Structure 1
């Protein structure tokens, strides 16, 4: 699949200040590099909406709300007024389907720690589970953790097609730019189905 290279957009909010995974979108309505893979029995499960995420190592447990796109084609983020709420990007694969499912959460907000406040502490081998509406729970294992400047967000690595079910957890990180009211980096956790 050929990916369209576009500049990344920013969503300015209080707390986490800019959307954990801001990305401009091509005409198809998905962020730059978003997966368009379809599920097959060999590669993944049938689509089912995720309902909860559990990351035991960092004590993160949340229901999942659906997230789409803002009018400026950046990914929506969970409400900053409820920073312990995580959300799932509905225009990409669901956890368990072939491709990278994307879950977003705040590092902080509303003068509180966010659901992904400790996300940067995850290490290779840590476990993540996602419950789905169909009653299944999908297990994932962390394969990589990155901290990367927002202005070089790795769209292809985050949203690009994968043959097997994968997961991406994304939040803000790094130092806080008080002039821009935004964290300078993103923390991105890559995980594969276990």
Structure 2
């Protein structure tokens, strides 16, 4: 999965489901921000709470609604991505951005914030 360099855009895991709500996990990831774009599309992700609703809207206006189940902040060096990139099972949505402390020397945050949500309807 590639995360666009432009912090104003999110990347979508191409092997997961699209807006068809197929089986498996749709994964979207974006930078928290940059000097050019101080607030990326997932900047507020650390504020998400279980029960919050995330709505994905297609170009044709169709919508999928997901309910947040978990919000995790994990050190980038220990995260196990295999749990998130699934091509089977119930439709899920995973949103990922940077979080934690900014390390100016590495020009990176120490952690990732990962939100997992389940499909609740369209």
Length-normalised TM-score, structure 1: 0.56
The alignment yields a C-alpha RMSD, in angstroms, of 1.7
Given the superposition, is the C-alpha separation of residues 160 and 135 from structure 1 closer, same or farther in structure 2, using an over 3 Å criterion? same
Contact 2:32 2:98 in 1 (8 A): yes
Measure how far apart 1:87 and its partner are.
Answer: 2.5
Contact preservation (8 Å) 2:31, 2:40? yes
Say if 2:30 is the partner of 1:105. Answer: yes
Structure 1 Cα separation of the partners of residues 82 and 3 of structure 2: 20
Q: Are the counterparts in 1 of residues 53 and 67 from structure 2 also a CA contact under 8 Å?
A: yes
TM-score, normalised on structure 2?
0.86
Residue in 1 aligned with 2:8? 84
Q: Give the counterpart of 2:89 among 163, 166, 179.
A: 163
Q: Which has the higher strand share?
A: 2
Matches within 5 A, 1:30-69: none
Which has the higher Rg, Structure 1 or Structure 2?
Answer: 1
Aligned length: 118
CA distance in 1, matches of 2:69, 2:88: 14
1:1-194 mapped onto 2 (5 Å cutoff): 75-80=1-6, 83-95=7-19, 96-111=21-36, 112-133=38-59, 136-194=62-120
Q: CA separation in 2, counterparts of 1:107 and 1:146?
A: 15
Query: Any idea what SS the aligned residue of 1:103 has?
Result: strand
SS in 1 for 2:16: coil
- For residues 60 and 43 of structure 2, what CA distance do their matches in structure 1 show? 29
Q: Which consecutive segments of 4 or more residues in structure 1 shift more than 6 A? A: none
Structure with more relative contact order (C-alpha pairs < 8 Å, separation 6 or more) = 2
